[in-house]
Amino acid sequence: MTHRFRFLSLYAVLFLVFLYAPAALLPVFSFNDSTFAVFPLKAFTLKHYEAMFANLSMLDALRNSIVVGVIASVAATAIGIPLAIGLARRLLPAGSVLLATVMLPLVVPSIIFAVAFLVILVRILQVDLSLWSITIAHVFLCLPFSVMVLMSRLDGLGRSLEEASRDLGETALGTFRRVTLPLILPAVISSLLMCFITSFDEFVLAFFLSGTQPTLPVFLYGQLRFPNKLPSMLALGSVILIVSTLLVILSEVIRRRGVAGVTAGDA
């Protein structure tokens, strides 16, 4: 058993190194005084970060991604809360079918939905492509993540407190505001963070629906044709990598604290 445990531990470490080593090299090359990301490193420099902040087009694309991510995460979480409550509490007819439909973006390739949104918005609705078209698609993409996070929280709560609130004469809306929402608040925050990260990093839908207002992933893809732009993109990628990692860790910490709080309360 001991040898098996050591083998699995070694396998897990090697797998993580293989998976994340390329991303971990981004900060290293971002400080290298060279146009190309190669070893050996030439010299330490901060000029790539200075060039990053001087690139107004890149900063505009970053602003677009932040705006789309914030709106999409708030909208997806707002839709996901009542949907998750209805699914977790078995209040919706054909709940299993509805849940499977909501989870489709997780299993269907993004390019399929990108083409579908493009046809519907441009050909049928005749809507001009903009940040709003990207936002609509990102809400659709983020909804499964929101529902999953919220349902996992609701499944661990039970219904006793909500039923007690209703028995004492509180309305359904009042029960949600006074009882349910405070209990699922950690999951709501986790949902917002998870949806924001999902929207911020998404490329395929944004590539098809961006029009003249690209998000950051689409902008970076276009800049890859110019080798002299690579160092500043490495600098920006390093910043995004660190911030995204911190957001994911924060989301998981909030979720775990919420679960621990519920477990302690039940005990």
Tens of pLDDT, residues 48-70:
788 888 888 888 988 999 999 99
Average pLDDT over residues 4-13: 78
Residue that is written with structure tokens 């995204």 in the block:
244
- The answer as to whether 248 is a domain residue is yes
3-state SS, one letter per residue, for 110-150 = HHHHHHHHHHHHHHHCCCCCCHHHHHHHHHHHHHHHHHHHH
Number of domains in the chain: 1
Cis, bond preceding 40 (omega within 30 deg of 0): yes
Asked if residue 215 lies in contact with residue 198, where contact means CB atoms within 8 angstroms, the answer is no
- The answer as to whether 166 is a domain residue is yes
- The answer as to whether 203 is a domain residue is yes
- The answer as to whether 7 is a domain residue is no
Say yes or no to pLDDT of 263 above 80. no
> Which CATH number is 55's domain given?
1.10.3720.10
- The answer as to whether 135 is a domain residue is yes
- The answer as to whether 35 is a domain residue is no
Residue 113 belongs to domain spanning:
44-266
Give residues with Cβ within 8 angstroms of 210, minimum separation 6. Answer: 129, 131, 134, 218
Can you give the pTM of this predicted structure?
0.79
- The answer as to whether 32 is a domain residue is no
